[in-house]
Structure 1
Amino acid sequence: MPGSFDFRHVRRAFSRAAAGYDAAAVLQQEVRTRLLESLVYLDDRAPAVVVDVGCGTGHAAAAMKKRWPGARVIALDLALPMLQQARRQAGWWRPFARVCADARALPLAEGSVDVLFSNLCLQWVDDLQAVLAGFRRVLRPGGMLLVSTFGPQTLAELREAFAAADEQPHVSPFASIAEFGDALMAAGFRDPVLDRDLFNLTYPDLPALMRELRALGATNALATRRRSLTGRGRFARAAAAYEPLRDADGRLPSTWEVIYAQAWGPEPGAPVRQGGQEIAAVPVSRIPIRRRSP
């Protein structure tokens, strides 16, 4: 889906949300906790360099710095105000580096990272395979990739309610678990393992759900979105379409599908699939040279 997102809008939305993000991010905190539990698969290995891509307010980076005090932990986010909030998690006793950068162009050296962690960030990228190829580039052979993202059932009720009220989409598209697995394989990762959870949150009404999404920075960032405010008429039609879904307690349901992926950095020269073909990069130093005798 090239060109799906307006990334300036994404940056602005998360910048505005930074100060109050933690209060609204209950689901994000639960997913982060579950993702961090997968670090046990490193066994007793102590990484030298750990990167948290899309770090938000820095809780995962702080947890990994606590787990590995001797590691260089880098918290990376597109929104500078998120990194300013992350400073509170670092503290003087366990500081970690904070870098304002884009997940689509990591400012990191090739093969320099032992653990690359990313919690609920990749749903904001257009070309998943290209971003994962960038992750592979910076990961050392045998390094660990640990990521989560939202799947296509996320906000299905909201998507359908607005579809009944407006021809313009209001909810971003999300990659399926099969598409995510294919992108990992195409990027050349080794031994990928994927899992998924379905969470069901409830709200008193549609405005409450929309307020939470704004507090999370998860506003409509589609490049094709309507640039004017959603009119009262369209919003009322969407609310009416949502209304029949109320549960036995009189609350509106909201489904959130979370995909988890764990994979490992391949050995140098492992191929990447592009255009139906496998392309391998081999260091010049590994190419044998036959020298003629004089």
Structure 2
Amino acid sequence: MSAVLFDAKQVRRAFSRSVQTYDAAAQLQKLAEARLLESLEYLDDPALERKPPQRILDLGCGTGSASRFLQKRWPKAEILSVDLALPMLQHARRAAKTWNPFVQAPRPLCADARRLPLAEGTLDVIFSNLCLQWVEDLEGVLNGFRRALKPQGLLLFSTFGPETLWELRGAFAQADAAPHVSAFVDTAGVGDALVNAGFFQPVVDRDEEVTHYPAMADLMRELRDLGATNALAARRSTLTGRGRFAVAERAYETHRTGAGLPATWEVISAMAWAPEPGAPIREGGADLVSVPVASIPIRRR
């Protein structure tokens, strides 16, 4: 079992508090969501001879924008909107009230990605935008996804890579030894986790975006508005003092450009398919399947 890296209660609290500010601050998240939703066009390929999905899970749905898109795309499908933060789900449900009454609205479900309350083989698609960076055991979560998906069901998700906020991480490292920014899984780790969980034909994409801010405090404010505060279990139990914050600010200033202080965001997206019944699965360290990560396509856009 993986060590506990995140305080799930703090993750829930932070996202619950950010429900009113999230949409205004989530420009990068919306860009990643749009790119991920574009990948669903693959399901419309006539060569696949696939029926429209009947049950879709939007995991880490936040305020529900992707759920609403999915419902419009497949109006006859059942969309399950899952989030750890109940206020996010309540916001998404209120937004869904403007829907055509002849189209069923997404169904909200407050649940943890690590313990989905769903029966085996009941989902056609699992969609998750920038949620899985909050779980420490990616392979374990993917095993749960594979069980919940029907054979040849589609998994499509994005998460942050290790280059994300490297400037902020380095700045705080000059101030103290306490962790302030999460350590994210890289593309190879995502590919390994998919293969080990039994998924096939995985494809991994990598995008890098840079945003700019007048000051470090503006970046910190945006992270708070997003709910993306420090939820590491090993985080400092007291507030970062003015002295340490000032040291971090001075260190961050060394990165300033004409556009302001840069913040790098590495977004890793992955697509893979659930196996057929009886396909060998690698679990618990048993090497029933061995596929080199080098064989997994990694596209850098």
1:203 and 1:162 map into 2 onto residues whose CA distance is: 17
**1:152 and 2:152 are equivalent in the alignment:** no
Q: Which position in structure 2 is the counterpart of 1:258? A: 267
Residues 121-136 of structure 1: matches in 2 within 5 Å? 121-136=131-146
**1:178 and 2:179 are equivalent in the alignment:** no
**1:241 and 2:251 are equivalent in the alignment:** yes
1:278 and 1:49 map into 2 onto residues whose CA distance is: 32
Return the offset for 1:248: 2.2
Name the TM-score, length of structure 1 as normaliser.
0.92
Return the offset for 1:275: 4.5
Q: Which position in structure 1 is the counterpart of 2:90? A: 84
Q: Which position in structure 2 is the counterpart of 1:219? A: 229
Picking from 43, 57, 73, the partner of 2:63 is 57
Name the TM-score, length of structure 2 as normaliser.
0.90
Q: Does the aligned pair in 2 maintain the 1:75–1:96 contact within 8 Å?
A: yes
1:4 and 1:203 map into 2 onto residues whose CA distance is: 29
2:169 and 2:192 map into 1 onto residues whose CA distance is: 25
Amino acid of the structure 2 residue aligned with 1:62: R
Q: Which position in structure 2 is the counterpart of 1:289? A: none
Q: Which piece of structure 1 moves more, 42-51 or 267-276?
A: 267-276
For these two proteins, the number of residue pairs brought into alignment is 279
1:33 and 1:88 map into 2 onto residues whose CA distance is: 22
Percent identical pairs in the alignment equals: 61
Residue aligned with 2:19, SS: helix
Q: Which position in structure 2 is the counterpart of 1:269? A: 278
**1:169 and 2:179 are equivalent in the alignment:** yes
Q: Which position in structure 2 is the counterpart of 1:143? A: 153
Return the offset for 1:89: 3.3
* Structure 2: 5+ residue stretches without partners: 290-301
Return the offset for 1:279: 5.7
Residue aligned with 2:153, SS: strand
1:248 and 1:204 map into 2 onto residues whose CA distance is: 10
Deviations along 1:80-101, one digit per CA (max 9) or x if unpaired, are: 0000111133224241100000
1:120 and 1:202 map into 2 onto residues whose CA distance is: 20
Q: Which position in structure 1 is the counterpart of 2:8? A: 7
Q: Does the aligned pair in 2 maintain the 1:271–1:278 contact within 8 Å?
A: no
Amino acid of the structure 2 residue aligned with 1:226: R
2:144 and 2:201 map into 1 onto residues whose CA distance is: 18
Residue aligned with 1:140, SS: strand
2:187 and 2:221 map into 1 onto residues whose CA distance is: 28
Deviations along 1:142-186, one digit per CA (max 9) or x if unpaired, are: 111000000000000000000011110100110000000000000
Q: Which piece of structure 1 moves more, 264-273 or 132-141?
A: 264-273
**1:41 and 2:50 are equivalent in the alignment:** no
Q: Does the aligned pair in 2 maintain the 1:206–1:239 contact within 8 Å?
A: yes
1:233 and 1:213 map into 2 onto residues whose CA distance is: 21
1:274 and 1:67 map into 2 onto residues whose CA distance is: 35
Deviations along 1:14-52, one digit per CA (max 9) or x if unpaired, are: 000112110110000010000000001112631000110
2:159 and 2:106 map into 1 onto residues whose CA distance is: 24
Return the offset for 1:273: 1.9
Compute the RMSD of aligned alpha carbons.
1.2
**1:75 and 2:84 are equivalent in the alignment:** no
Residues 87-98 of structure 1: matches in 2 within 5 Å? 87-91=93-97, 92-93=99-100, 94=103, 95-98=105-108
**1:232 and 2:233 are equivalent in the alignment:** no
1:253 and 1:260 map into 2 onto residues whose CA distance is: 22
Amino acid of the structure 2 residue aligned with 1:247: T
Residue aligned with 1:104, SS: helix
1:89 and 1:31 map into 2 onto residues whose CA distance is: 21
2:182 and 2:284 map into 1 onto residues whose CA distance is: 26
- Which has the greater radius of gyration? 1
Return the offset for 1:209: 0.3
